[in-house]
Amino acid sequence: MLSSAIRNLSRRSFSTSKSLAAPQQLTVRDALNAAMDEEMEKDEKVFILGEEVAQYDGAYKVSRGLWKKYGDKRVIDTPITEMGFAGIAVGAAMAGLRPICEFMTFNFAMQAIDQVINSAAKTFYMSAGVVNVPIVFRGPNGAAAGVGAQHSQCFGAWYAHCPGLKVISPYDSEDAKGLLKAAIRDPDPVVFLENEMLYGVGYPVSDQVLDKNFVLPIGKAKIQRPGKHITIVAHSKAVEIALTAANELAGKGIECEIINLRSLRPLDSDTIFQSVQKTHHLVTIEQGWPSCGIGSEICARLMEHETFFHLDAPVWRVTGADVPMPYAKTLEAAALPQPHDVVNAVNKVLGVK
């Protein structure tokens, strides 16, 4: 009797029905790695240079395995001299190659900002369209955790200010892969602002995203979550903050439309305008400082467009605090926008008490 029960239990343990496959997960780190790998395989003019990108597999392991696959000539370790290797990369782009110049953090790109702006961004214009500079400057941007004032700045508004550059600020794995591939193929300089805190986060992706031909258009935002009561515009990690706040607000019957900007320059004003004309309310979120920020630019464009007349309340900005980033953990959290800040902003704009 016992042996019969065991046999029946064993049979029940094995299901012959087809189970529904779980969505495929891809980390932002692996998405970026795949984008570079696929473009290097496709075009031998593409190469990577930067600090620790080769033998160490990258400071954040984004270039993992590429040195072993492509060798010293296409994955190049550089000395700690951002001005130097950024200049080499710009010169290589002018000569017809397609460099991917990695900054260990965009805070260090301040050492090379002359090369990024004066050498890369302006050359196509100053050469009357004769000299293209197909280069990607990429690396982590904005606040990480516990790295202090000198390593926690968001450079989105800095670079978006400059004509001649395209500026991309991806959120999830789909953004990272599709937009980095587009950046590498672009004939002009692209500043690609990643977020260190998102590298290890896995996001569900479709088979289309995993395909080698998957590319996203630069300059086109994404409706990350549809809604009807208020529009929330964000980029990079601020999209995560917006989604968290939206989930909380949904419990109170407030449906937020979340726009993931993806590109900061060119900025997809049309998607923002269309959403605001539907919801009649707008909140912007960014981790950078408030003065002359991306939110400020969106406010100005809205004022200068007929969409202004569709607003039922003033636009509200949620930003980082207007101070250098504190080192203390509690103060660091207070200096960055949190979901409760977004909830409070939405309540104020909608007049909810």
According to the model, what pLDDT value does residue 353 have?
Answer: 81
Residue 322: pLDDT above 60?
Answer: yes
For a pLDDT cut of 70, what percent of the chain falls above it? 94
pLDDT tens by residue, 156-209: 999 999 999 999 999 999 999 999 999 999 999 999 999 999 999 999 999 999
151 is catalytic: yes
**Looking at domain 25-210, does it have CATH number 3.40.50.970?**
yes
According to the model, what pLDDT value does residue 3 have?
Answer: 52
Residue-range domain boundaries for the chain: 25-210, 222-350
Same CATH fold assignment for domains 25-210 and 222-350: yes
The pTM is what? 0.92
Instruction: State whether residue 50 is helix, strand or coil.
Output: strand
According to the model, what pLDDT value does residue 21 have?
Answer: 56
According to the model, what pLDDT value does residue 1 have?
Answer: 47
Residue carrying structure tokens 């390593």: 151
Active-site residue (options: 39, 51, 82, 332): 82
**Looking at domain 222-350, does it have CATH number 2.40.40.20?**
no
DSSP per residue, 142-183: S--SS--GGG----HHHHHTSTT-EEE---SHHHHHHHHHHH
Query: How many secondary structure helices (H) and strands (E) does the chain include?
Result: 14, 14
On the CB side of 247, CA atoms within 13 Å amount to 6
pLDDT-derived band at 22 (thresholds 50, 70, 90) equals low
The dihedral through the CA atoms of 152, 156, 161, 165 has a sign that is positive
Strands (E), the chain: 24-27, 46-50, 75-77, 98-102, 136-140, 166-168, 190-194, 202-205, 222-225, 230-234, 256-260, 263-265, 282-285, 316-318
Active-site residue (options: 52, 151, 305, 310): 151
Distance CA 335, CA 353 (A): 25
φ, ψ dihedrals at 309, nearest 5° = -75, -10
According to the model, what pLDDT value does residue 14 have?
Answer: 41
pLDDT-derived band at 334 (thresholds 50, 70, 90) equals very high
pLDDT-derived band at 69 (thresholds 50, 70, 90) equals very high
pLDDT tens by residue, 72-124: 999 999 999 999 999 999 999 999 999 999 999 999 999 999 999 999 999 99
Could you tell me the maximum CA-CA distance found in the chain, to the nearest angstrom? 90
pLDDT tens by residue, 201-260: 999 999 999 999 999 999 999 999 999 999 999 999 999 999 999 999 999 999 999 999
82 is catalytic: yes
pLDDT-derived band at 10 (thresholds 50, 70, 90) equals very low
Give the pLDDT mean for 52-59: 96
Residues 205, 171 contacting (CB under 8 angstroms): no
